[in-house]
């Protein structure tokens, strides 16, 4: 079959880091007559949830040296930084340089702007609307948006970010991603943050930036705080054997022995954990499902605080808050919420306490992170699930996909074009699919696979 003058576009749904990089990589990989439609429901393209903040205390959690958007150009972000006039928000520490996340959003915006305004016939089209449906049609889908637009597309990449958390809410709950609302708080009445990970660190910085001076209680099952980055120590990638993947116990013993050997050579555990990065997906996919479930139940919080570390200045801010008694971090569970007119009374079962404790707070901030597919009310996902065009991935953490990023359908799923998945919706299939150093590789690989699939279809 010969190629048409202009082929129907490939849609990319979601323009955070994943969708932006998928779109840019697709422009490189697809034939010049194939456009790309990048759809974003939020107010800005390229920034997503992570890189839209204007608070200079919201630093990247990854060193600038490892934040290039492109796997084949490792120094690309640092080169951009050296040419940008940024003022505040660039902090150099013994563990490396950490940059405000808003600056990283500007870097991504520059990349996208260059692709939209570059020479030649524009192939990248931006649609600023929420995609609410992909109706199967011959040779692809009819993409529908909330605002009533329709577009014929040959296939789509779902890059919609994390599933929204479904943790219990109160009338006094605040969204950690909308910190402007923190400015309405009484400056002294206590606030509860549920979750003690990286989102909690952000929420504390946002509360203080909005003039809140009162007490903050941060609660999570184990009360673990993210570790801070240390000066980079290189440690070789472990040579893991199939037997090492048979059980978590065995894998953990192997990692612990590497940590001990590293310590003998003056290398910190950070280097050993970093050396596992290229292997994480292989490890995750190789673990038997029973062991994957055990990882989630018991090890995940420990993995998260070692793998997803924070910038040293952010860790120091939290240490100072704790030292002056302004922030208390506790292990425990939230067991009930009673809403009153001007406050919520929460019942907590704190680890080590004899009986539950009741506490009145003016607001609760949900910093528990991501949700699960069964609780998701996202209209696009619900429709795709109803039609069998996608199915839940392992443990309901996201969607199921093959090693080629193609969404796995149910037996009932018929018609339409191919769907691919990128970013946090792959959690469960690929364990580490949420940070730039992972997504940039996955975006490049996915674009090559999309091009190969379309090429095969055109040749058939």
Ligand X SMILES: Cc1cc2nc3c(=O)[nH]c(=O)nc-3n(C[C@H](O)[C@H](O)[C@H](O)COP(=O)(O)OP(=O)(O)OC[C@H]3O[C@@H](n4cnc5c(N)ncnc54)[C@H](O)[C@@H]3O)c2cc1C
Q: Give the whole-angstrom CA distance, residue 49 versus residue 16.
A: 7
Q: Give the whole-angstrom CA distance, residue 358 versus residue 356.
A: 7
The nearest distance, CB 437 to ligand X, in angstroms, is: 6
Show the DSSP H helices in 161-216 as ranges: 198-209
Region from 23-31, 241-249, 343-351, 434-442 binding ligand X, contact rule CB under 6 A: 434-442
What would the 3-class secondary structure string for 231-269 be? Answer: CCCCCCCCCCCHHHHCCHHHHHHHHHHHHHHHHHCCCCH
Which of residues 131, 251, 262, 419 is near ligand X by CB under 6 A? 131
Tally of residues, the chain: 460
* Beta strands at 36-39 and 124-127: parallel, antiparallel or unpaired: parallel
Give me the 143-182 binding string for ligand X, x by CB under 6 A, dash otherwise: ----------------xxxx--------------------
Which of residues 11, 29, 37, 50 is near ligand X by CB under 6 A? 50
Q: Give the whole-angstrom CA distance, residue 285 versus residue 293.
A: 12
Give me the 354-393 binding string for ligand X, x by CB under 6 A, dash otherwise: --------------------------x-------------
Specify whether the CB–CB gap between 161 and 18 falls below 8 A.
yes
Which of residues 8, 10, 11, 14 is near ligand X by CB under 6 A? 14
Provide the 8-state DSSP code for 325.
T
Q: Give the whole-angstrom CA distance, residue 175 versus residue 168.
A: 13
Which of residues 271, 398, 413, 424 is near ligand X by CB under 6 A? 424
CA distances from 48 to 19, 40, 159 (A): 9, 9, 10
Give me the 199-238 binding string for ligand X, x by CB under 6 A, dash otherwise: ---x------------------------------------
Region from 117-125, 133-141, 149-157, 432-440 binding ligand X, contact rule CB under 6 A: 432-440
Specify whether the CB–CB gap between 371 and 168 falls below 8 A.
no
Q: Give the whole-angstrom CA distance, residue 219 versus residue 223.
A: 6
Question: How many residues bind ligand X, per CB under 6 A?
Answer: 31
Closer by beta carbon to ligand X, 274 or else 291: 274
Binding flag, residue 9, ligand X (CB under 6 A): no
Show the DSSP H helices in 341-435 as ranges: 379-386
Which 3 state secondary structure label does DSSP give 162? coil
The nearest distance, CB 47 to ligand X, in angstroms, is: 7
Binding flag, residue 61, ligand X (CB under 6 A): yes
Binding flag, residue 56, ligand X (CB under 6 A): no
Region from 12-20, 221-229, 319-327, 405-413 binding ligand X, contact rule CB under 6 A: 12-20
Binding flag, residue 13, ligand X (CB under 6 A): yes
Region from 38-46, 134-142, 236-244, 356-364 binding ligand X, contact rule CB under 6 A: 38-46
Which of residues 10, 24, 57, 62 is near ligand X by CB under 6 A? 62
Specify whether the CB–CB gap between 454 and 30 falls below 8 A.
yes
Specify whether the CB–CB gap between 11 and 39 falls below 8 A.
yes
Binding flag, residue 332, ligand X (CB under 6 A): no
Binding flag, residue 19, ligand X (CB under 6 A): yes
Which 3 state secondary structure label does DSSP give 16? coil
- Binding-site ranges for ligand X (CB under 6 A): 13-19, 39-42, 48-50, 60-62, 101, 130-131, 159-162, 202, 380, 423-424, 434-436
């Amino acid at each position: 079959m010969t190629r048409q003058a202009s082929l129907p576009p490939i849609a990319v749904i979601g323009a955070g880091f994943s969708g932006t990089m998928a779109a840019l990589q697709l422009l490189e990989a697809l034939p010049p007559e194939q456009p790309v439609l990048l759809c974003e429901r939020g107010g800005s393209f390229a920034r997503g949830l992570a890189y839209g903040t204007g608070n200079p205390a919201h630093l990247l959690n990854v060193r600038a040296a490892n934040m290039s958007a492109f796997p084949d150009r490792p120094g690309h972000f640092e080169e951009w930084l050296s040419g940008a006039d940024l003022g505040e928000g660039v902090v150099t520490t013994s563990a490396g340089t950490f940059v405000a996340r808003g600056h990283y959003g500007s870097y991504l915006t520059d990349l996208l702007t260059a692709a939209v305004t570059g020479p030649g016939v524009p192939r990248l089209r931006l649609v600023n609307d929420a995609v609410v449906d992909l109706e199967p049609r011959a040779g692809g889908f009819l993409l529908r948006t909330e605002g009533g637009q329709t577009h014929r597309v040959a296939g789509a990449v779902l890059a919609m970010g994390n599933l929204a958390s479904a943790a219990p809410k109160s009338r006094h709950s605040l969204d950690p991603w909308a910190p402007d609302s923190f400015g309405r708080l009484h400056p002294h009445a206590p606030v509860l943050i549920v979750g003690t990970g990286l989102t909690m660190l952000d929420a504390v910085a946002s509360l203080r930036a909005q003039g809140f001076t009162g007490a903050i209680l941060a609660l999570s099952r184990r009360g673990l705080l993210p570790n801070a980055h240390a000066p980079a120590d290189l440690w070789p990638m472990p040579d893991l054997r199939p037997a090492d993947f048979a059980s978590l116990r065995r894998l953990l013993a192997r990692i612990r022995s590497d940590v001990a050997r590293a310590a003998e050579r003056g290398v910190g555990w950070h280097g050993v954990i970093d050396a596992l990065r290229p292997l994480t997906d292989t490890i995750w996919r190789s673990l038997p499902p029973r062991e994957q479930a055990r990882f989630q139940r018991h090890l995940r919080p420990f993995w998260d605080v070692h793998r997803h570390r924070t910038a040293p200045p952010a860790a120091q801010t939290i240490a100072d808050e704790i030292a002056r008694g302004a922030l208390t971090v506790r292990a425990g569970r939230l067991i009930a919420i009673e809403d009153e007119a001007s406050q919520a009374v929460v019942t907590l079962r704190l680890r080590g306490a004899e009986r539950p404790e009741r506490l009145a707070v003016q607001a609760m901030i949900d910093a528990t992170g991501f949700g699960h597919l069964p609780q998701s009310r996202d209209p696009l996902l619900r429709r795709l699930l109803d039609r069998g065009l996608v199915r839940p991935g392992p443990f309901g953490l996201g969607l199921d996909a093959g090693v080629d990023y193609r969404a796995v359908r149910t037996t009932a799923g018929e018609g339409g074009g191919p769907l691919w998945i990128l970013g946090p919706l792959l959690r469960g299939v690929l364990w580490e699919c949420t940070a730039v150093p992972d997504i940039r590789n996955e975006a490049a690989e996915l674009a090559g696979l999309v091009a190969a699939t379309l090429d095969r279809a055109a040749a058939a």
